[in-house]
């Protein structure tokens, strides 16, 4: 919280605007997508993952939760599964 108190409110407003702009453009996404979230994270993040999943235009989409992870999945208990799943996703793409 101390770090957030030292951040300019303008930066937080800009960040929220970026999120809003990104969410507004999700329907334009036609590339394959894999959405990952930590199941130990706040419920809002799973809800966001579901909104993204429903909003993208691509039919090549998957979503997966990691039961032992919070927000920073690449640093948590599920790190090996997360890395393996990302690598599998990338290797399965037709480049």
In order of start, what are the domains of the chain with their CATH numbers?
A: 2-92 (3.40.50.1820)
pLDDT of 68-89, one tens digit each? 999 899 888 999 999 999 999 9
Continuous segment of H or E residues that includes residue 57? none
Residue whose tokens read 């969410």? 23
End-to-end CA distance of the chain: 42
pLDDT of 12-62, one tens digit each? 788 899 999 999 999 999 999 999 999 999 999 999 999 999 999 999 999
- Rounded to whole angstroms, the Cα distance separating 78 from 70 reads 10
Contact 22, 48 (CB under 8 A): no
pTM for this one?
0.81
Contact 38, 70 (CB under 8 A): yes
Backbone angles phi, psi at 15, to 5 degrees: -65, -45
């Amino acid at each position: 919280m101390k770090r957030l108190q030292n951040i300019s409110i303008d930066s937080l407003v800009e960040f929220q605007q970026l999120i809003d702009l990104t969410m507004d453009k999700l329907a334009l996404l036609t590339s394959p997508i894999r959405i990952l979230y930590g199941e130990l994270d706040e419920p809002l993040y799973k809800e966001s993952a579901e909104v993204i999943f429903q909003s993208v235009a691509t039919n090549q989409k998957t979503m997966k939760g990691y039961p032992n992870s919070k927000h920073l999945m690449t640093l948590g208990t599920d790190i090996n599964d997360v890395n393996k799943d990302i690598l599998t996703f990338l290797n399965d793409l037709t480049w």
